[in-house]
Amino acid sequence: PGTAPAFDVDVVVVGAGFAGLAMLRELRDERGLSVQVLEAGDDVGGVWYWNRYPGARCDVDSTDYSYSFSSELDEEWNWSERYATQPEILRYVHHVADKFDLRSDISLGARVVEASWDEDSSHWHVSCENGLTGRGRYLVMATGCLSATKRPELDGLGDFRGQVLHTADWPAEPVDLTDKRVGVIGTGSSGIQVIPTVAPVVDQLFVFQRTPTFSVPARHQVLTDADRAAIRAELPQRRELLRKSPTGLSVPITRQSALEVDDKERRAHYEEYWATAGFGFLLSYSDLLTNRESNDTAADFIRSKIAERVEDPELREKLTPRTYPYGAKRPCVDTGYYETFNRPNVTLVDIAESPLAKVTETSLHTSTAEYELDVIVFATGFDAMTGSLLRPEIRGRGGETLREHWQGGPLTYLGLATSGFPNMFIIAGPGSPSLLGNVMVSIEQHVDWVSDLLTRSLAEGTPTIEAQRDAEAEWVAHVNAAAAGTLYWEAASYYLGAEIPGKPRVFMPYAGGLRRYRRECDQVAQDGYAGFSRTP
Ligand code: NA7
Q: Report DSSP letters for 187-203, one per residue.
A: -SHHHHHHHHHHTTTSS
Mean pLDDT of 491-510: 92
User: CB–CB of 428/501 below 8 Å?
Assistant: no
How confident is the model at residue 25, as a pLDDT? 98
CA 148 to chain centre: 10
In a 3-state reduction of DSSP, which class is residue 349? Answer: strand
Determine the pLDDT at residue 158: 97
Q: Which helix (H) or strand (E) holds 226?
A: helix 225-233
Q: Ligand 1 atom closest to Cα of 51?
A: 25
Q: What is the pLDDT of residue 251?
A: 83
CA distance 170 to 172: 7
Q: How many residues are recorded in the chain? A: 536
Q: What is the DSSP string of 81-132?
A: BSS-BHHHHHHHHHHHHHHTT-GGGEESS--EEEEEEETTTTEEEEEETTS-
Split at pLDDT 50, 70, 90, the class of 105 is very high
Q: Tell me the mean pLDDT in the region 324-345.
A: 97
The span from the CA of 297 to the CA of 326, in Å, is 10
Average pLDDT rounded to a whole number, residues 149-159: 96
| Residues 381, 237 contacting (CB under 8 angstroms) | no
Ligand 1: atom nearest CA of 210 is: 39
pLDDT of residue 200: 98
User: How far is C-alpha 160 from the chain's CA centre?
Assistant: 30
Pocket probe for ligand 1: among 380, 385, 503, the residue whose CB has the most ligand atoms within 8 Å is 380
Contacts 24+ apart (CB under 8 A), 230-237: 231/63, 232/74, 232/75, 235/63, 235/74
- Is 252 a residue whose pLDDT tops 80? no
Amino acid at 372: E
How many angstroms separate the CA atoms of 154 and 412, rounded?
34
* CA–CA distance, 50 with 65 (Å, rounded to integer): 18
Ligand 1 geometric centre to CA of 492 (Å): 11
pLDDT at 214 exceeding the cut of 70: yes
Which pTM was predicted? Answer: 0.97
Residue 3's pLDDT band, with cuts at 50, 70 and 90, is low
Q: Is 2 a residue whose pLDDT tops 60?
A: no
| Distance between Cα 437 and ligand 1 center (Å) | 18
Rounded to whole angstroms, how far apart are CA atoms 162 and 343?
A: 24
What confidence tens digit (pLDDT) does each residue in 118-145 have? Answer: 999 999 999 999 999 999 999 999 999 9
Average pLDDT of the chain to the nearest whole number: 96
Q: Is the dihedral angle over the CA atoms 498, 429, 333, 298 positive or is it negative? A: positive
pLDDT given for residue 144 in this prediction:
97
Whether the predicted pLDDT of 510 surpasses 80: yes
Atom of ligand 1 nearest to the CA of 190: 26
Predicted pLDDT of residue 226: 97
Q: What is the signed CA dihedral for 270, 273, 276, 279, rounded to 10 degrees?
A: -110
In 142-236, the DSSP E strands lie at 163-166, 181-185, 204-209, 215-217
Q: At what angle do helices 439-459 and 514-526 cross, to 10 degrees?
A: 0
Q: What is the pLDDT of residues 187-207, one digit of tens each?
A: 999 999 999 999 999 999 999
Q: What residue's CA is closest to ligand 1, atom 4? A: 188
Count CA within 13 A, CB hemisphere, residue 267.
7
Any residues with CB less than 8 A from the CB of 39 and at least 6 apart, and which? 15, 16, 20, 106, 107, 108, 109, 110
CA of 290 to the centre of ligand 1 (A): 23
From ligand 1's centre to the CA of 318, what distance in Å? Answer: 17
pLDDT in tens, 357-383: 999 999 999 999 999 999 999 999 999
- CB neighbours (10 Å) of residue 155? 12
CA distance 8 to 136: 6
Query: Which atom belonging to ligand 1 lies closest to the Cα atom of 47?
Result: 30
Enumerate the β-bridge partners of residue 377: 165, 184
Report whether pLDDT(7) > 70: yes
**Ligand 1 atom with the shortest distance to the CA of 351:** 20
Distance in angstroms (rounded) separating the CA atoms of residues 483 and 479: 6
What's residue 485's pLDDT? 92
The Å distance, Cα 110 to ligand 1 centre, comes to 27
Give the binding-site residues of ligand 1, using a 6 Å CB cut-off: 146, 152, 167, 185-191, 210-211, 330, 351, 356, 379-381, 494, 499
Q: Looking at the predicted structure, is the pLDDT value of residue 482 above 70?
A: yes
The C-alpha angle with vertex 330 and arms to 326 and 334, in degrees rounded to 5, equals 85
C-alpha of residue 148 to centroid of ligand 1, in Å: 13
**454 and 167 Cβ atoms separated by less than 8 Å:** no
Count CA within 13 A, CB hemisphere, residue 434.
Answer: 29
Residue 514 makes CB contacts below 8 A (sequence gap 6+) with 245, 246, 247, 248, 433, 437, 441, 442, 445
At 441-471, the pLDDT tens digits run 999 999 999 999 999 999 999 999 999 999 9
The SS3 of residue 364 is strand
Give the DSSP H or E segment for 267. Answer: helix 263-276
Whether residue 1 is predicted with pLDDT greater than 60 in this model: the reply is no
Compute CA 429 distance to the chain's CA centroid, rounded to the nearest angstrom. Answer: 10
Angle at 201 between CA 197 and CA 206, to 5 degrees: 75
User: Residue 383 Cα, ligand 1 centroid: separation in angstroms?
Assistant: 10
pLDDT of 300: 98
Q: How many CB atoms lie within 10 A of CB 241?
A: 16
SS3 172: coil
- Mutation choice for ligand 1 from 83, 184, 189, 192, CB with most ligand atoms inside 8 A: 189
Ligand 1 atom nearest to CA at 187: 9
CA of 378 to the centre of ligand 1 (A): 9
Cα of 85 vs centre of ligand 1, distance in Å, is: 20
Sign of the Cα torsion 444, 137, 110, 412 reads negative
DSSP 6: S
Q: Which amino acid is at 362?
A: T
Residue owning the nearest CA to atom 38 of ligand 1: 499
